[in-house]
Amino acid sequence: MIEFQNVKKSFGDREILKGISFFVSKGEILFILGTSGTGKSVTLKNIVGLLKPSSGNIVVDGEDITQFSEDQLFAIRKKCGMVFQHPALFDSLSVFENVAFGLKRHESLSENEIRDRVHESLELVNISGIDDKLPSEISYGMQKRVSLARTIALRPAVLLFDEPTTGLDPITTNSVNQLIQDLSRKLKTTSLVVSHDMHCALKIADRIIVLDKGQIVDEGSVDEILESQSELVRDFLLEARAGGES
């Protein structure tokens, strides 16, 4: 579904991705774990063309998108919905208008169909009755859910999550993680989650990639990661156990 082939990305003199290669299969939940500043978000932004790789290739659904123009990327962005680290809701639009934003521009749906799709998407993230609220009038956790609803409203084949649980309390974190798993199963989407939360990755990931200083240091199924000898992975596992016990 998605394949990175020796992708490098630099900003000026700073090389953030140092030639990473991996693939994500259809229907899979893949976690990319790593500490801050290791290039996790840069990896995601390359998939939707918000950033361009300095070298290497990115293949999405059989198409090499590396040299795609902004117009060509529109189709890819419809296919790959991205949920940002910040909720990134449009301040001046209501919850309903936020979720309907992509639908009004992409789909030739009637007003009634848009309304139904918006409500359906909000229900999938367990939200109802806040259509007319502005983003500033709802909690941060709710904003994250609305952001997710806005992305899934377009029914993308791939969901990209950039640190979906950052800034959330433990209870909301659990519910968002559950939501990612449920949505992936219900909507049959492929999910790529960038995070530093090993505890959550162990719970819901099909496969985990560990990134450090722009390079993949380990990759495998949950069981394989649990047996990893990488020092960084051991540190993550220790942290996850400590987090799980507390």
Residues that bind other proteins (CB under 8 A): 45, 48, 50, 70, 74, 77-78, 81-82, 84-86, 88-91, 101-102, 105-106, 147, 150-151, 154
Contact 240, 198 (CB under 8 A): yes
Rank residues 25 and 92 by Cβ distance to other proteins and give the closer one.
92
Q: How wide is the angle at C-alpha 6 spanned by C-alphas 192 and 212, nearest 5°?
A: 60
Q: How far is the CB of 50 from other proteins (least distance, A)?
A: 5
Q: How far is the CB of 80 from other proteins (least distance, A)?
A: 8
Instruction: Output DSSP code: residue 46.
Output: H
What is the C-alpha separation between 115 and 134, in angstroms, rounded?
17
Residue 66 backbone dihedrals phi, psi, to 5 degrees: -55, -40
Rank residues 77 and 199 by Cβ distance to other proteins and give the closer one.
77
Q: How far is the CB of 166 from other proteins (least distance, A)?
A: 13
Q: How far is the CB of 51 from other proteins (least distance, A)?
A: 10
Rank residues 34 and 81 by Cβ distance to other proteins and give the closer one.
81
Q: How far is the CB of 160 from other proteins (least distance, A)?
A: 9
Rank residues 1 and 158 by Cβ distance to other proteins and give the closer one.
158
Rank residues 59 and 88 by Cβ distance to other proteins and give the closer one.
88
What is the C-alpha separation between 174 and 148, in angstroms, rounded?
15
CA distances from 79 to 54, 58, 173, 208 (A): 23, 15, 26, 22
Q: Which residues contact 244 (CB under 8 A, 6 or more apart)?
A: 199
